[in-house]
Amino acid sequence: MTRAAKFADKLLYLVSPALLLGLWQALLMMGYGDRRFIPAPTDIFWRFISVVSTGELEQHVAVTLWRTFAGYFIGAIPGIAVGLLMAMFRPVRIFFDPLIAMLFPIPKVALMPLLLLAFGFGDASKIALVATGVFFPVVVNTYAGAANIDRIYWDVAKNYGASQWIVFSRIVLFGAMPMIFAGLRIALAVAFIVLIASEFVATKTGLGFLIWNSWQLMEVDFMFAGIVTIGLLGLIFSVVFDWIEKRAVPWKLRDRG
Amino acid sequence: MERRGAAIAIDGLRKEYASAGGVTVAIDNVDLKIAPGEFVCIVGPSGCGKSTLLRILAGLETQSGGVLSVEAAGWAVQNAMVFQESGLFPWMTVETNVGFGLMTRGVARSEIDARVDGALKLVGLTKFRRHYPHQLSGGMRQRGAIARAFVTDPAILLMDEPFAALDAQNRAILQAELVRIWEETRKTVVYITHSIDEALMLGDRTVIMTAHPGRIKRIVDVPFARPRDVMALSGTPEFGALKLDIWRVLEEEVMRAREEFDL
Ligand SMILES: Nc1ncnc2c1ncn2[C@@H]1O[C@H](COP(=O)(O)OP(=O)(O)OP(=O)(O)O)[C@@H](O)[C@H]1O
Ligand SMILES: [Mg+2]
């Protein structure tokens, strides 16, 4: 693909959000909707600037990020390990299968009261919730990726004298890598969803608290600033994630554009 | 200890696969003795169990009946297989793939590097050592798989139609290299092919298998003196006569296979 074409793609990427914002602003300025309840993008923007300059927003963002990442790693690393072991060893698979089938469909927010009991009102309960939410999509995708590794690669490994450890670290892990990344990507969204929802209650910090609290105080523009922040964080993570995936899975067939 | 090629004795070998439609007998009652350092080619109709036989020899499959014994004293690596599809790991570069069978056996890094260099040169992939398999052509991938087997210096080379995907020039070069390596190292080679020409140019004996289930139909000695001049040899009347001979036997089996599978 030429540079100009790449640039055109990037521009196109911005068209749909710009249209949405433009339409939103225009409708409000034409008098459809009450700006006290539905602030215009410009209102949100100015509020956003002011809360960033006081440092108020950053505090909440920092707390939310810490909980997200702590929970994400605590959930994802065992998720990957268990998924790979399930693909390699039948007993492990038989042990975990019913557990996963039973626990995966439970909406993880429903566990919040239980986790508050177990871990208290501090960060630990939120981190535990994120970890549980992250574990399941990661373990399921990792297992699917490892179990679908083409038989010939197991054959080659065996014929060329690979030990269990080499099969695990050089074949199963890498063979499952594209699916592991698919799982990690889903898990990142899940992490945000359950965390923000859990921050609505039983805490005085985090973006979820900010949104819920400003809603109760009828500071709708502040609430929207919180929502926009989550959107921006999502966008940043998506870009960073792509960057990491390209380097971690360099053999993945990409479109040759 | 002095290395001799591996001796293989196969006695009454049978393999059946259980599947939803019942039991498939892939090979039945196969008897074959392979002398140390011999180069044996196997031909037979598609689906007659050639790969199955090779997989049992490679230890990837267990026979349902019969006895297989291999005697390969003095070799660090018993056997290495070149699979019908290349089977290069997509997540490893060419050089990592080629060194795989040495890495698994704990060979020192510096020795792996040196041996991989040699193997890559042999198959003409030196320039592509840092590439991933998806960046190579089908023939180049197959050459990588061949290098991966050669580099381990096995007592027995098991080759499942290794050159079928190659262009004629590379096939001729690698056939010559294979014969040279074989003559130098006295490995035992079991080589599956669909091409009678190839079997006659490379092997000491050609084993013809029957259609499904695979049995040994006939074993033909290939009398041509070595070193063989491949191009000149294929023009001689003896070559033509032997080829026709084998073709007649094979044709019967191929027709039988086609009837059975309703083609
Ligand atoms: N894993 C398996 N499960 C069930 N049946 C199998 C399996 N592998 C092979 N077979 C059957 O065994 C028979 C022999 O297969 P094999 O792959 O050994 O044939 P082949 O001679 O190598 O054929 P080709 O020349 O086409 O490669 C076939 O009928 C095939 O369907
Ligand atoms: Mg085959």
User: Strand, helix or coil at A118?
Assistant: helix
What is each CA distance from B62 to A255, B50, B68, B220, B258, in whole angstroms?
42, 15, 10, 28, 28
pLDDT at A257: 34
Residue A255: pLDDT over 80 = no
Domain boundaries, chain B: 7-78+155-261, 85-153
8 Å CB contact between A65 and A232 = no
Quick: pLDDT tens for B43-86: 999 989 999 999 999 999 999 999 999 998 888 899 999 998 88
Residues ≥6 apart with Cβ < 8 Å to B107:
B115
Q: Which two tokens stand for residue A122?
A: 């501090």
Provide the 8-state DSSP code for B126.
G
CATH number for A95: 1.10.3720.10
Chain mean pLDDT for chain B: 91
pLDDT at A86: 95
> What is the secondary structure of A96-109 as a DSSP string?
HHHHHHHHTTS-GG
Residue B235: pLDDT over 50 = yes
Residue scoring higher pLDDT (A221 or A195): A195
Element (H, E) at B24: strand B22-34
Element (H, E) at A189: helix A173-199
C-alpha B108/C-alpha B119 separation (Å) is 16
CA-based torsion, A27, A29, A30, A36: positive or negative? positive
- The lowest-confidence range among A35-44, A80-89, B89-98 is A35-44
Would you say residue A36 lies in a domain?
no
C-alpha A102/C-alpha A120 separation (Å) is 25
Residue scoring higher pLDDT (B166 or A133): A133
Pocket test for ligand 1, best of B50, B62, B196, B253 (most atoms within 8 A of CB): B50
Pocket of ligand 1 (CB under 6 A): B 17, 19, 24, 26, 44, 46-52, 84, 212
Would you say residue A7 lies in a domain?
no
- Residues of chain B with a CB closer than 8 angstroms to some CB in chain A: 55, 58-60, 77, 79-81, 83, 85, 87, 89-92, 100-101, 103-105, 132-134, 148, 152
Would you say residue A139 lies in a domain?
yes
Indicate the number of domains in chain A. 1
Contacts of A149 in chain B (CB under 8 A): none
How far is ligand 2, taken at its centre, from the CA of residue A157, in Å? Answer: 19
C-alpha A156/C-alpha B81 separation (Å) is 8
How far is ligand 2, taken at its centre, from the CA of residue B83, in Å? Answer: 9
Contacts of A179 in chain B (CB under 8 A): none
pLDDT at A33: 82
Contacts of A167 in chain B (CB under 8 A): none
Task: Give the residue from A174, A192, A57, A213 showing the smallest Cα distance to A137.
Answer: A192
Quick: pLDDT tens for B190-212: 999 999 999 999 999 999 999 88
How far is ligand 2, taken at its centre, from the CA of residue A46, in Å? Answer: 70
Taking the CA atoms of residue B15, residue B18, residue B23 and residue B24 in that order, the dihedral angle to the nearest 10 degrees is: -50
A48 confidence band (pLDDT: 50, 70, 90)? confident
Q: How many residues does chain B have?
A: 263
Phi-psi region of B214 (alpha: psi -120 to 50; beta: other; left: phi over 0): beta
Quick: pLDDT tens for A97-154: 999 999 999 998 888 989 999 998 889 999 999 999 999 999 999 999 999 999 999 9
Please give the CATH number for the structural domain made up of B7-78+155-261.
3.40.50.300
Q: Which residue among B91, B100, B104 places its CB closest to the CB of A175?
A: B91
Would you say residue A50 lies in a domain?
no
A256 confidence band (pLDDT: 50, 70, 90)? very low
Q: Read off the pLDDT of each residue in B230-237 and give the average, rounded to a whole number.
A: 86
Would you say residue A202 lies in a domain?
yes
Would you say residue A40 lies in a domain?
no
Residue nearest to atom 31 of ligand 1 (CA): B47
Q: Which two tokens stand for residue A8?
A: 């055109």
Would you say residue A224 lies in a domain?
yes
| Residue carrying the six token digits 């041509």 | B224
Cβ pair B89:A174 closer than 8 A: yes
Enclosing domain of residue A241: 56-256
Cβ pair B60:A171 closer than 8 A: no
Would you say residue A146 lies in a domain?
yes
